[in-house]
């Protein structure tokens, strides 16, 4: 059952729309990575444009959420929490866009045997974000569940960190990857890892808001 109503429900709808667009951004980014690793560069470049368009759409939704809040939704003491939450969620899309641009601009080569690990890292970021989506949506219905889901986001981010570390290790150990490509892939892997990191940052905000609401 929803805890709020009126203008607050409009904010939650906008938050949900924002969550979905960021999710679509991550899906487009995964498609980009899959295409790039398969050598379909032109297709990957198309997905880069899609990632950028979706990130822009997410930005616009974030600003609309801020306007709704400043126009009177929620008590003044709580508005900042929702502004901060929308900003943190938006940073997930920013991380995906940054990684996408670096891949397409630098076009480093990667051995085929590491393709699965790269996709596993992207998938771990998406899994972390999908848990965050559930946590944010629970804020309007069940704060205890929101807290539990926020903790699941933290667990998922730790798994993503482990995949990120192992992938970097394998990249630097590879004799097939040039020094230049290793430097670029290190940057890209870090940016992909930022997807899970930013999702965890947002989950910390969900946890804080849930604790405040419980009193």
Cα–Cα distance for residue pair 132/150, rounded to 1 Å: 7
Q: What is the pLDDT of residues 3-44, one digit of tens each?
A: 444 567 778 888 999 999 999 999 999 999 999 999 999 999
pLDDT band at 213 (very low <50, low <70, confident <90, very high): confident
Domain borders along the chain are 7-214
Mean per-residue pLDDT, 144-149: 95
b/e burial code for range 34-60 (CB count within 10 A of at least 16 → b): bbbbeeeeeebbebbebbbebbebbbe
User: What residue has token string 């805890």?
Assistant: 3
129, two tokens: 């974000």
Q: In the 8-state DSSP scheme, what is residue 113?
A: G
> How many CB atoms are closer than 10 A to CB 112?
10
Q: Mean pLDDT for the chain? A: 91
Mean per-residue pLDDT, 112-121: 93
pLDDT band at 186 (very low <50, low <70, confident <90, very high): very high
pLDDT of residue 12: 82
Mean per-residue pLDDT, 159-172: 97
> How many CB atoms are closer than 10 A to CB 93?
29
pLDDT band at 131 (very low <50, low <70, confident <90, very high): very high
Q: What is the pLDDT of residues 60-116, one digit of tens each?
A: 999 988 888 877 656 555 778 888 999 999 999 999 999 999 999 999 988 788 999
Residue 1 has pLDDT above 60, yes or no: no
Q: The whole model's pTM is what?
A: 0.92
Mean per-residue pLDDT, 107-131: 94
pLDDT of residue 3: 45
pLDDT of residue 141: 85
User: What residue has token string 């080569």?
Assistant: 109
CATH pick for 7-214 out of 1.10.3080.10, 1.10.3720.10, 2.60.40.2470, 1.20.58.220:
1.20.58.220
Q: Assess contact for 165 and 117: CB atoms under 8 A.
A: no
pLDDT of residue 57: 98
Cα–Cα distance for residue pair 77/75, rounded to 1 Å: 5
Cα–Cα distance for residue pair 67/8, rounded to 1 Å: 13
């Amino acid at each position: 059952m929803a805890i709020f109503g009126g203008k607050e429900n409009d904010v939650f709808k906008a938050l949900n729309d924002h969550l979905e667009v960021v999710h679509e951004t991550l899906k487009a980014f995964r498609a980009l990575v899959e295409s790039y690793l398969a050598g379909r560069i032109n297709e990957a470049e198309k997905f880069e444009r899609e990632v950028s368009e979706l990130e822009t759409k997410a930005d616009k939704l974030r600003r609309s959420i801020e306007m709704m809040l400043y126009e009177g939704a929620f008590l003044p003491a709580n508005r900042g929490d929702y502004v901060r939450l929308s900003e943190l969620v938006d940073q997930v899309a920013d991380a995906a866009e940054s990684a996408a641009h670096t891949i397409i601009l630098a076009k480093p080569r990667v051995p085929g045997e590491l393709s699965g690990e790269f996709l596993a890292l992207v998938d771990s970021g998406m899994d972390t974000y999908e848990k965050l989506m559930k946590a944010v949506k629970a804020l309007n219905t069940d704060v205890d569940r929101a807290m539990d889901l926020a903790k699941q986001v933290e667990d998922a981010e730790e798994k993503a960190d482990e995949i990120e570390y192992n992938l970097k290790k394998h990249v630097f150990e590879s004799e097939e990857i040039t020094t230049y490509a290793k430097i670029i892939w290190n940057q890209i892997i870090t940016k992909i890892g930022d997807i899970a990191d930013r999702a965890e940052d947002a989950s910390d905000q969900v946890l804080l808001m849930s604790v405040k609401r419980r009193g």
